[in-house]
């Protein structure tokens, strides 16, 4: 067994947490050079759809992680996990800054509120690390396809590079949670985890459909249909679900 800390019947894998703490520390400041972008050559309709869509995602990335970090503290998570989690939150805030730069380039305003952001915030207010991370991962999995769609649909240039950076970061973030989070599920029975897995899979599917509908014009402008967007999200969901809930696929 990988050396770990036994607490209330849960094995908290300190070696995995240590690796992720070091990984995030090595990534600090990697996008600091992004302060402005050249105005991309986009037609007026595409730019309008992008502004509306990106403003919603920028708001979603801008949270300060207070409730997530409080829940982690209440769960008695180890210092290395908490440190890695703080770095993760900082990277999400960096995405918000980067998207604000993009919106400024596109002459798009920032949002202070949106119904989808309020919905996710309410869903994560149970002060439980399990609830916080699972709801967070719904957004992370959807974001993988969203940013990949923007990356692949834009012409070569600074704007496309920004979305490639953010997408690559989101891959790292999903890997982080898939490696570190399963140990926090050990206190649940197999039957409970089966129900949680079904519920989480359903939430991701619902979120994918919601984003496909509300952001459909931007997706179409990038050459992706609503159906294809949902299909790609569900493919990623199945992969992440297996890593979260299948003990045989845990990181070591």
CA distance 151 to 155: 8
Question: How many structural domains is the chain composed of?
Answer: 1
Residue 6 is assigned to a structural domain of this protein: no
Write down the pLDDT at residue 117: 62
Helices (H), 63-128: 66-74, 79-105, 115-123
Q: From the CB of residue 110, how many other CB atoms can be counted at a distance below 10 Å?
A: 14
Write down the pLDDT at residue 3: 37
Residue 4 is assigned to a structural domain of this protein: no
Residue 36 is assigned to a structural domain of this protein: no
CA dihedral (126, 128, 134, 137) positive or negative: positive
Q: Residues near 52 by Cβ (< 8 Å), separated by ≥ 6?
A: 108, 217, 218
Residue 49 is assigned to a structural domain of this protein: yes
Question: From first to last of its 252 residues, what are the pLDDT tens digits of the chain?
Answer: 333 433 333 444 579 999 999 999 999 999 999 999 998 899 999 999 999 999 999 999 988 888 899 999 988 889 999 999 999 999 999 999 999 999 999 999 999 877 666 666 665 566 689 999 999 999 999 999 999 999 999 999 999 999 999 999 999 999 999 999 999 998 899 999 999 999 999 999 999 999 999 999 999 999 999 999 999 999 999 999 999 999 887 776
Are 207 and 142 a contacting pair, CB within 8 Å?
yes
Residue 151: give its domain's CATH number. 1.10.620.20
Residue 136 is assigned to a structural domain of this protein: yes
Are 3 and 15 a contacting pair, CB within 8 Å?
yes
Are 3 and 163 a contacting pair, CB within 8 Å?
no
Which pTM was predicted?
A: 0.90
CA distance 106 to 114: 20
Residue 29 is assigned to a structural domain of this protein: no
Instruction: Take residue 140 and report the two structure tokens written for it.
Output: 């992370």
Residue 172 is assigned to a structural domain of this protein: yes
Q: What is the 3 state secondary structure string of 167-227?
A: HHHHHHHHHHHHHHCHHHHCCCCHHHHHHHHHHHHHHHHHHHHHHHHHCHHHHHHCCCCHH
Write down the pLDDT at residue 249: 77
Write down the pLDDT at residue 131: 93
Q: From the CB of residue 27, how many other CB atoms can be counted at a distance below 10 Å?
A: 16
Residue 31 is assigned to a structural domain of this protein: no
Write down the pLDDT at residue 162: 97
For 128, the domain range is 12-24+41-249
């Amino acid at each position: 067994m990988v050396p770990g800390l036994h607490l209330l019947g849960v094995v908290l894998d300190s070696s995995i947490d240590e690796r992720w703490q070091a990984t995030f520390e090595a990534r600090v400041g990697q996008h600091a050079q992004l302060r402005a972008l050249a105005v991309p050559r986009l037609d007026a309709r595409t730019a309008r759809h992008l502004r509306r869509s990106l403003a919603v995602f920028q708001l979603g990335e801008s949270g300060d992680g207070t409730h997530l970090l409080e829940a982690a503290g209440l769960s008695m998570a180890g210092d290395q996990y908490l440190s890695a989690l703080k770095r993760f939150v900082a990277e999400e805030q960096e995405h918000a800054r980067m998207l604000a730069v993009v919106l400024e380039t596109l002459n798009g305003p920032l949002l202070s509120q949106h119904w989808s952001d309020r919905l996710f915030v309410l869903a994560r207010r149970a002060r439980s690390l399990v609830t916080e991370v699972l709801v967070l991962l719904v957004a992370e999995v959807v974001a993988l396809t969203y940013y990949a769609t923007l990356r692949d649909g834009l012409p070569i240039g600074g704007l496309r590079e920004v979305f490639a950076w953010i997408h690559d970061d989101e891959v790292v973030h999903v890997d982080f949670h898939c490696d570190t989070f399963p140990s926090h599920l050990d206190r649940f029975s197999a039957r409970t985890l089966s129900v949680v897995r079904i519920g989480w899979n359903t939430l991701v599917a619902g979120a994918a459909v919601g984003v496909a509908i509300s952001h459909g014009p931007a997706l179409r402008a990038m050459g992706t249909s609503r159906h294809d967007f949902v299909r790609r999200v569900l493919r990623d969901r199945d992969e992440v679900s297996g890593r979260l809930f299948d003990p045989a696929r845990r990181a070591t």
